[in-house]
């Protein structure tokens, strides 16, 4: 989910991650700061930058506890989140950590009596950008992950600034800033609003708390690639099944831009052709209705013995294979089109939806 980001400032600080304070129109408007949803710090899971000393308290702990949930720092820059649901079944989620910063926060974002986990990571070694994972815990004590990459504001004292309560109902809303264009004078932004109900996030366009969403800058902006990161499960959708998986052509992977020269010698780069080449690198799923879709960003496998989730490709592939082998019904939820359209969330279940 690599959205195009340019001017995010990420600073690792003692006790947490300082994100944001981006100059220009690509920051969260200041008027939203007073609506920030309260969050409690659960720990600093940052990895030390190569060649630099650890900051005080950084990664002194290898396990962080949030109620019955444990967040473990694993080798090879990974995080594992584990818990036990209301039936006593274990569940786990594994995702990557980042070398520039990792902060853990806790809050009951949807007021369902279950404390949710907020994970904010950044990687200064591969360009600017912040990755946010909201691990929602549903009424049965099972995880419902939501994840986005891009512009996020926050600090080590108050948590993620994009989590707000605009209507005062003590449930969180999330503001997601989508950016198009690489120059301040010609770029445009779209600030979308997401509501949370029963552990699921859903985008809401139109009037909310006296404001109109999405908020476009400039007002006449027309975003062309704005993703919808909704992960609300559609109870009325026809169940689909995975009929086969098409492996990617790994030898062709990588971002290689075809370069040509014009009649006057100028260099031309065919960006659209490069995107088409990169899309061919992803494994694809063939569904029972004939659609072919790229492997999604997150897979949730809902089985008799609990729920398992993954965002890392190697674990994601195993879950997709298992869902196919067991003939599980699947639900594709949300789409993101920042670097080739693909489902944001795949939900596989033995129970009909």
Residue 48: how many other CB atoms lie within 10 Å? 13
- Give the pLDDT of residue 274: 67
Quote the CA–CA distance of 97 and 280 in Å, as a whole number.
27
Tokens 């294979």 found at:
321
Please answer whether residues 187 and 66 qualify as being in contact, where contact means their C-beta atoms are separated by less than 8 angstroms.
no
Higher pLDDT, 234 or 178: 178
Quote the CA–CA distance of 256 and 260 in Å, as a whole number.
13
pLDDT in tens, 120-175: 988 655 444 788 999 999 999 999 999 988 888 887 778 999 999 999 999 999 99
Cis peptide before 218 (omega within 30 of 0): yes
Residue 264's pLDDT band (cuts 50, 70, 90): confident
Least confident of 150-154, 162-166, 264-268, 337-341: 337-341
18 alpha-carbon distance from chain centroid:
18
Domain boundaries, the chain: 1-223, 233-247+283-353, 248-282
Structure tokens at 145: 């992950």
Total length of the chain: 353
- Give the pLDDT of residue 97: 84
- Give the pLDDT of residue 254: 58
pTM flag (> 0.85): no
Q: Helix (H, G, I), strand (E, B), or coil: what is residue 23?
A: coil
């Amino acid at each position: 989910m690599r959205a195009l980001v340019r001017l995010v400032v990420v600073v690792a600080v003692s006790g947490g991650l300082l994100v944001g304070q981006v100059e220009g129109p690509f920051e969260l408007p200041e008027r939203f700061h007073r609506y920030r949803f309260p969050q409690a710090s659960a720990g600093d899971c940052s990895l030390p930058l190569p060649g630099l000393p650890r900051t005080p308290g950084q990664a002194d702990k290898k396990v962080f506890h949030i109620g019955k949930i444990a967040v473990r720092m694993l080798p090879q820059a990974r995080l594992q989140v584990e818990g036990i649901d209301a039936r006593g079944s274990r569940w786990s989620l594994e995702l990557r950590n980042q070398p520039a910063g990792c902060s853990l926060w806790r809050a009951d974002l949807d007021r369902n009596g279950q404390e949710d986990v907020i994970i904010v990571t950044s990687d200064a070694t591969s360009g600017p950008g912040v990755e946010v994972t909201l691990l929602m815990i549903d009424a049965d004590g099972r995880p419902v992950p939501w994840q986005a990459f891009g512009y996020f504001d926050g600090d080590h004292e108050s948590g993620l600034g994009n989590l707000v309560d605009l209507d005062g109902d003590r449930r969180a809303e999330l503001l997601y800033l989508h950016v198009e264009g690489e120059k301040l004078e010609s770029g445009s932004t779209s600030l979308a609003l997401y509501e949370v109900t029963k552990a699921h996030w859903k985008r809401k366009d139109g009037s909310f708390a006296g404001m109109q969403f999405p908020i476009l800058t400039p007002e006449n902006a027309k975003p062309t690639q704005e993703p919808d990161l909704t992960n609300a499960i559609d109870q009325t959708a026809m169940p689909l099944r995975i009929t086969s998986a098409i492996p990617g052509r790994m030898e062709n992977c990588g971002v290689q831009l075809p370069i040509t020269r014009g009649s006057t010698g100028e260099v031309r780069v065919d960006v659209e052709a490069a995107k088409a080449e990169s899309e061919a690198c992803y494994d694809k799923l063939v569904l029972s209705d004939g659609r072919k879709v790229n492997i999604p960003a997150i897979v949730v496998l809902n089985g008799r013995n609990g729920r398992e989730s993954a965002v890392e490709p190697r674990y994601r592939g195993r879950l997709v294979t298992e869902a196919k082998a067991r003939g599980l019904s699947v639900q594709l939820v949300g789409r993101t089109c920042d670097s080739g359209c693909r489902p944001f969330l795949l939900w596989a279940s033995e129970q009909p939806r």
